[in-house]
Amino acid sequence: MEATVIRTGTEGKTWGGGNEPLRASYGKLMMWFFIVSDALTFSGFLAAYGFSRFKFIDSWPIADEVFNHFPFLHGVDAPMYYVALMTFVLIFSSVTMVLAVDAGHHMKKGKVTLYMFLTIIGGAIFVGAQAWEWKNFIQGEYGAVTTNGGNILQFVNGEGERVALADFVADLPATRVANTRNNGLWFTENETLPDFTIDEVKAGFAANDNILIRTLMFDENGEKTILSREESLRKLNADAIGVVQGANLAQNEYGPPLFADFFFFITGFHGFHVFSGVMINIIIFFNVILGTYERRGSYEMVEKVGLYWHFVDLVWVFVFTFFYLV
């Protein structure tokens, strides 16, 4: 039986077979398949984050307080400035990638080389900036104490501003030994100790009348609840059991540990994508210099890696919105 191809006009027709369905090469089509599947993966991660945040909405960390560091400005409260700069760098690298693809369409090897180089530099800066942000998130800035129920108690002054543990703890003579397999339980083994003990925090807090405790629960004004001096003393002495500094997969001075788990996993997964993109761009960059695509008569490979790079940038827009803005 003879197949019939229906023509839709002089400019186009339905695909009747061949190597380029929808006028797209096999390589670009496979890149689109990968992008769609990866987009579904990120969508699942962000949806899980959204549901978890909704469950712990009353105690979720405030992004402006968590991500308020900036290089060479120690102690300066700069909420979101650093993350905004990271975002600008990544979006700018997407612009240079567009210019590289356009130059490839016009077979301008010099411009493709320049714009690919700028794209690689932008991606490398972003990866380095994310590593710096991770370092600060892990180390923490203020410190807090944990309670029997796993809640976090933070410390503020009379104006409601965060106070670091180092600013008020008492120096008590004591010898601390980290849990190991020899002197503790295997599941509590830890090579590092907090800088301060809970007794030093309690003694220092009692000696500073101007310091109060702030819980993670929001009040009717949408602010974290600050306890009175009497309530703070009672809460600290009755419930506090340990000191936590920074964030890891088990503890988080900013709020529920689940926040840190999602932060490390989602931003780390995206960072891996950016790092992979930088490595691929470096390979393409050297191929451009060697004239590989000039000899082929096409810079389609630059266009394909450009699709991946734009996808990575777009995903960061959603990650930025979920973690830092909402």
- Listing DSSP states for 164-195 in one string gives -GGGT------------TTTS-GGG--S---S
What is the predicted pLDDT for the residue at 225?
Answer: 87
A 10 A CB-CB count for 200 gives 19
For the chain, give the number of residues.
326
Domains of the chain in start order, with CATH, are: 25-140+258-325 (1.20.120.80), 144-245 (no CATH)
Span 135-168, pLDDT tens digits:
989 988 888 998 887 888 999 988 888 888 888 8
Q: Is the pLDDT of residue 10 over 50?
A: no
Place of tokens 């909405």: 57
Span 50-90, pLDDT tens digits:
999 988 888 888 888 888 888 877 767 788 899 999 999 99
- pLDDT category, 313, cuts 50, 70, 90? very high
End-to-end CA distance of the chain: 60
pTM strictly above 0.85: no
CA distance 86 to 73: 16
Per-residue DSSP letter, 158: T
CA distance 235 to 147: 9
